[in-house]
Structure 1
């Protein structure tokens, strides 16, 4: 089963994969049902999670029911326990909406929910993150997770996120990050897809972010909080929810 899953993960274009996943998720959830691990997003329990990754797949990380990864489950816990996302009336912009969140966020009566992306079939608005069709100060909350590493001009994208966020608003701008690396690494001369996947973690990534990512966000005007939310959890919770214990959640705010 795991070998079959890895094959389809790598062979099927992502937009089609998203559509097909709605049919296969119930089968995965039934097949992997158990009591060892739990997805906090829907509360379902499994004997194991699925592998995920392109070049070197990570084992036991993809939830069979919500298709959430470590970062999604960590973010869900943070939003639920530490923010007003599920309680206050908020106008929310969500880039490249993840399946694990999309249906649940659309059903929330307290948020005015807009999704955007160039390619995702889940996007309400087809838009370039570097040239957004929204007015200044439009949104109370912006979620932009694992998008900026795909964008050649990430500074322009950050400026657009800052422009469209309301004064006093907040956002989560997650990226894959090497916390042992001080400076972000980019090399446009690497064009071979396999080589890019090997070096950057995925063929369509254009950089590996280092610790200077937070300063890049501050340079465009954001106030940045580097949240290590897993510090609030026990080792048992981290293992049960299959979280990455060292992941930092970049929470940004725009001054009023």
Structure 2
């Protein structure tokens, strides 16, 4: 019964309200699913199973009961921890639409000057439009902007702003939902129905489906882009234990 109620919250409640409500519900769910089969690498806690998640069609066993992380969050955490200096070096970090799984952990890191931004999130320090950021040029050493650009009608302008505020030598990780079987990104501004958008783009508030050309679009803005398949260096048992999506690409962009 508790898990069904939590599933309703995850899929029906607007995200700003969901963030607030989840603080109350999450500890109960995490306790009920304690076990040893799957592990969330973000907090190291293990469970007998993870929760389902997804708009429309549900993905089973993907949502961590403790951090509310999904496959992409856990993969990114492993990459950031093992392959970058974000957890130890002095960095000015800009975090768009801050994920609950990361927010408190980054806030506590003494090495980071941590700024969050979004139009609607209650976790945002700065309420801002990604296409018109209120920051100076070269203001940040590291940018996290994950699963944001698919919501933005003018993603070219958003990418230009991300490039502008990133310092020379800095890194931006710009994850998006991506169909790697599709060569060319698909978008159609005439599709305005939430139901049709969910059917065609995968979610009611998405405006496109990115294809493999996403990386070249970032390069056209000026970024150097490394297409990192971090699951390629992990064992099958690690991928299963952490509940990751095999083959998901992390776009690591530098300036």
Post-superposition shift, 1:190? Answer: 1.6
Partner Cα separation in structure 1 for residue 13 and residue 173 of structure 2: 29
Partner Cα separation in structure 2 for residue 29 and residue 3 of structure 1: 14
Post-superposition shift, 1:232? Answer: 0.8
> In the alignment, what sits opposite 1:85?
86
Structure 2, gaps ≥5 residues long: none
What pairs up with 1:1-256 in 2 under 5 angstroms? 1=1, 2-254=3-255
The TM-score, its normalising length taken from structure 1, stands at 0.98
Given that 2:6 and 2:25 are in contact with CA atoms closer than 8 Å, whether structure 1 keeps it comes out as no
Q: Deviations over 1:156-184 (max 9, x none)?
A: 00000000000000010000000000000
State the secondary structure of the residue aligned to 1:6.
helix
Partner Cα separation in structure 1 for residue 5 and residue 247 of structure 2: 30
The TM-score, its normalising length taken from structure 2, stands at 0.98
Partner Cα separation in structure 2 for residue 165 and residue 9 of structure 1: 33
Q: Deviations over 1:59-117 (max 9, x none)?
A: 10000000000000000000000000011000000000000000000000000000000
**Runs of 4+ off more than 6 Å:** none
State the secondary structure of the residue aligned to 1:30.
helix
Structure 1, gaps ≥5 residues long: none
Post-superposition shift, 1:153? Answer: 0.2
